[in-house]
Amino acid sequence: MSASEVHQPQTHRPQTLAQKLIAAACGRPAVDEGEIVTCAVDLAMFHDSSGPRRLQPMLEELGASLWDPAKIVLVIDHYVPESDDESRRIVRIARDWAAGQQLPNVYDSVGICHVVVPQHGHIRPGMFCVGGDSHSPTGGAFGAYMFGIGSTEMLGVAVTGQIWVKVPKTLMMRWSGRLAAGVTAKDMMLHMIGRYGMNGGRYQAVEFCGEAVRALPMQERMTLSNMSAELGSQVGLIAPDDTTADYLRQAGVTAELDLARWQSDAGADAEWHAFDAASLAPQVAAPHSPANARDVNHYPDVPLQVAYIGACTGAKLDDLRAAATVLRGRKLAAGMRLMVAPASLQDQQLADQEGVMQVLRDAGADVLATSCGACAGYGGSIPDGATVISTTARNFKGRMGSETAQVYLASPYTVAASAVAGRIADPREFMA
C-alpha cells in the first residue's frame, strides 16, 4: 500500500475512508461498523424523473419547505429532448418547480446528472451527499460519500437536511499494475461484477485503490464509482489525490481541499480483494445482466446490428476519445448502426474542438442529444429484436426500451471495434 492510500491519525482508532466521511457528517471523531447514525447532508441531487414530479405533491401535502435550496442540485436529463406529451408534462413540472423554489443550481438539457454535477464543482472530498438516482455513487470518485435514495427518503432530506445511515463494512478492491492499451475502467468494473455478481458488494462500502486506480484520470474513476451500484455496494469510494484536485480546480473549485484527511487509515478493518490490471482483457457482459461478464474472446461469432456509445459510463470525453482511436479512418460494417449520445454538452463541445466528434461522424455515427437517452429507454431507437453492444451500465431486459433486444455491455473501445467489425470484436486488434 502506498503512502497516498494511508494516513494514520493519532487521535482515534484506525478508520476506513467510509467511516471517516460518515463520522464527519454525524459530528463524531469516529464510528464503528454496524452503528446507525444521523448525518447532515451537504448536497442533494435529483433529476426530472426522480425529483419534482414526486417531491412537489408530498411537500405540498406536508406544508413543508426546503431546508436549504443552495444545497440542492436539479438536473433535467431524462425526458429531454421532449418527444411526447408525457415528457413535456414531466419536464414542465421540473422547470416550474425549480423556478418557484428559486433553486440556484439547475442544469437543463446540458447532459447527464452524474457527469454534469462534478463538471460544475459541486462534489468535493469530505462531503456527504445523496442523489435521487441509483448511480449516484459516482460522487465517490471524488472522495465524497454519495449514494442513491428513493423519493420518500429524498423528501426527508429535502425538509430536514439529514438522513440516517448504517456504518458499512468496507471492501477494498486493490488493482496492481497498469491497464494495457484498449482496456479501461469499464473493463475493470465488468470484471469485478462478473467475479462477485450484482450483490457482490453486499450493500457495503467499496473502495477502489492500488497503482492502476491511481493512474486513472477522473472520468475513468467516475466510471468505477458509478458502477459500484451494479456491484451491489452503497458507495464506491476512491481516495482523493492530485488528480482529483486538478480536476476540481478546472471545474472552478477554489476552496481548500484537504486531500490528506480523506484516506483510509493503515490498519483499518476492511476486507481486501486483489486484482492484476496488466493481465485484464477487454470485457463483455452478455444479456441480460452485467454479471454475465467474460473476456471478449468468449464472443467470437456474435453478429450485431446496433452499437450505442452513450450514458454516464460510456460517453464522457475520455470515452469519446477512446472510440475515435478505433474509428479514425474506418467505416461501420454494412448494415450496422452506431448511435453516439455524448454524456454532457461540455464534453461534446471539447470533443468537437479536438476533432473527435468529426471522426465519429466520418465513420458513420448518428449523434444524438446529450441526455440519458436510450440507456434508460427514454430516447434513441433500439429496434425490436436487435442485437446491441452498448457502453451503458446495465443490460437488463427492456432497459433500453425494447423487450426483445439482446444487449451486450462493453467499453467504448470494444463498442467502436464491434461497430466496424459488425460483430463483437477485440479492440486491441484495431490498435496496432
Same domain, 171 and 226: yes
| Residues 237 and 347 reside in one and the same domain | no
What's the rounded Cα separation, in Å, for the pair 57 and 21? 32
Neighbour count for residue 189 (Cβ, 10 Å): 29
Structure pTM?
A: 0.95
Residues 169 and 272 in one domain: yes
205/307 same-domain check: no
pLDDT at 7 over 60: no
* pLDDT tens profile 293-346: 999 999 998 999 999 999 999 999 999 999 999 999 999 999 999 999 999 999
Residue 11, domain member (yes or no): no
Mean pLDDT across 259-266? 97
The mean per-residue pLDDT over the stretch 258-284 comes to 97
Could you tell me if 296 and 272 lie in one domain? no
User: pLDDT (tens digit, 9 = 90+) per residue, 353-376?
Assistant: 999 999 999 999 999 989 888 877
d(CA 114, CA 218) in angstroms, rounded, equals 13
3-state SS record for 346-412? HHHHHHHHHCHHHHHHHHCCEECCCCCHHHHCCCCCCCCCCEEEECCCCCCCCCCCCCCCEEEECCH
Same domain, 146 and 190: yes
Counted domains in the chain: 2
Do 202 and 296 fall within a single domain? no
**Ramachandran angles phi, psi of 21, nearest 5°:** -65, -40
pLDDT score recorded for residue 379: 61
Residue 397 confidence (pLDDT)? 78
- Whether 328 maps to a domain, the answer reads yes
Asked if residue 129 belongs to a domain, the reply is: yes
- pLDDT greater than 60 at residue 5: no
Task: Answer whether residue 2 is part of any domain.
Answer: no
Tell me the average pLDDT across 42-67: 94
Of 193, 231, 238, the closest CA to residue 410 belongs to: 193
Distances (CA, A) of 358 to 33, 319, 397: 51, 15, 33
**In this structure, are 207 and 316 located in the same domain?**
no
Domain identity same for 34 and 85: yes
Tell which of 276, 309, 330 closes a domain: 276
To the nearest whole percent, how much of the chain has pLDDT over 70?
Answer: 96
Structural domain for 301, as ranges: 282-429
Give DSSP secondary structure letters for 268-337.
---EEEEEEGGGPPPEEE-TT-TT-EEEGGG-TT-B-SEEEEESTTT-SHHHHHHHHHHHTT--PPTT-E
Which of 219, 245, 276 delimits the end of a domain?
276
pLDDT at 420 over 60: yes
- Same domain as 250, residue 292: no
Domain annotation covers residue 3: no
CATH number at 301 reads 3.30.499.10
Domain contains 210: yes
When pLDDT is averaged across residues 276-297 and rounded to a whole number, the result is 97
Asked whether residue 140 falls in the same domain as residue 49, the answer is yes
Together in a domain, 149 and 66: yes
**288 CB-contact burial (10 Å; exposed 0-12 / middle 13-18 / buried 19+):** middle
* pLDDT band of 4, cuts 50, 70, 90: very low
Residue 259 lies in a domain: no
Q: What is the mean pLDDT of residues 379-390?
A: 84
Domain finish residue from 276, 310, 336: 276
User: Is 34 a member of any domain?
Assistant: yes
